[in-house]
């Protein structure tokens, strides 16, 4: 169990540029680094158990390292975009095959029911556009394509939103890291900037949960 916890800490720690650069140096050939990063992005978007993995912060950090010539920015964005698109596609298929019974509490032992229901509410509110919007919201990002599969969303429509959302997410976060990472203040306060990105990313989830609880309390009899 301790080994698993250490492994998770190591993965999450890759959002720190120093940790990521050390890891890249250990991995050897550049293509190995691209594959490892692609595997992380794929797992965060494609596997329900990958919701804890760094997404936004990792992309921002890889963009920053690309500005330092550690990565080549265009191959990096291409590889990670493909990984993000494939991740959502696999997640959709999982939901499609498992069906609506997964919404019953306790059916998925390794997933918190509240996360799944939050994604369900998000999808029902925004429809197909949720596939794009969810890319920029942690937790919701992992579960929304799964919910779309459960709901049997038209696959061609899903593919369109998936491709647009995947490319838009990867490119925007990587480019932000590439250009903002060159600013002296950002370089000197990188961890604070990453923390700010995480807070901004999870803010919609917190607000949504608060609104849901507020609406529930108002609708309940006094």
125-136: string of b/e by CB count within 10 Å (b at 16+)?
Answer: eeebebbbbbbb
Collapsing DSSP states into helix, strand and coil, what is residue 181?
Answer: coil
CA nearest to 55, candidates 135, 143, 111, 118: 135
Q: Residues 10, 58: contact at Cβ < 8 Å?
A: no
* CA–CA distance, 28 with 6 (Å, rounded to integer): 22
| Look-up of token digits 């492994």 | 7
Give residue 110's pLDDT: 61
The rounded distance, in Å, linking the Cα atoms of 213 and 29 is 50
DSSP sequence for 68-98 = TTSS-HHHHHHHHHHHHHHHHHHHHHHHHHH
Query: What's residue 167's pLDDT?
Result: 97
How far is Cα 171 from Cα 90, in angstroms, rounded to an integer? 21
Q: What is the mean pLDDT of each run of 10 residues along the chain (222 residues)?
A: 71 83 86 92 87 86 92 96 96 86 65 74 84 87 89 92 96 94 83 80 67 57 50
What's the confidence (pLDDT) of residue 222?
Answer: 47
What is the DSSP secondary structure assignment for residue 104, as one 8-state letter? S
pTM exceeds cut of 0.75? yes
d(CA 151, CA 158): 11
Residue 29: partners with Cβ closer than 8 Å, 6 or more residues away = none
> Around 141, how many Cα atoms within 13 Å sit in the side-chain half-sphere?
26
């Amino acid at each position: 169990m301790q080994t698993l916890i250490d492994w998770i800490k190591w993965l999450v720690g890759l959002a720190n540029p120093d940790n990521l650069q050390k890891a890249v140096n250990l991995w050897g050939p550049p293509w190995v680094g691209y594959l490892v990063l692609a595997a992380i992005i794929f797992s965060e978007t494609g596997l329900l158990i990958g919701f804890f993995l760094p997404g936004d912060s990792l992309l921002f950090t890889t963009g920053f390292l690309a500005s330092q010539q550690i990565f080549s920015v265009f191959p990096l964005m291409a590889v990670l975009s493909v990984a993000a698109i494939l991740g959502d596609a696999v997640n959709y298929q999982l939901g499609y095959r498992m069906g609506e019974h997964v919404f019953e509490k306790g059916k998925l032992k390794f997933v918190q029911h509240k996360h799944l229901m939050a994604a369900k509410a998000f999808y029902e509110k925004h429809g197909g556009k949720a596939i794009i919007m969810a890319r920029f919201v942690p937790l919701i990002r992992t579960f929304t394509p799964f919910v779309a599969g459960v709901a049997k969303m038209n696959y061609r429509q899903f593919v369109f939103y998936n491709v647009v959302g995947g490319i838009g997410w990867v490119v925007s976060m990587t480019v932000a890291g590439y250009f903002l990472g060159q600013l002296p203040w950002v370089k000197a306060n990188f961890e604070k900037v990453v923390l700010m990105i995480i807070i901004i990313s999870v803010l919609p989830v917190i607000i949504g949960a608060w609104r849901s609880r507020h609406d529930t309390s108002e609708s309940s009899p006094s």
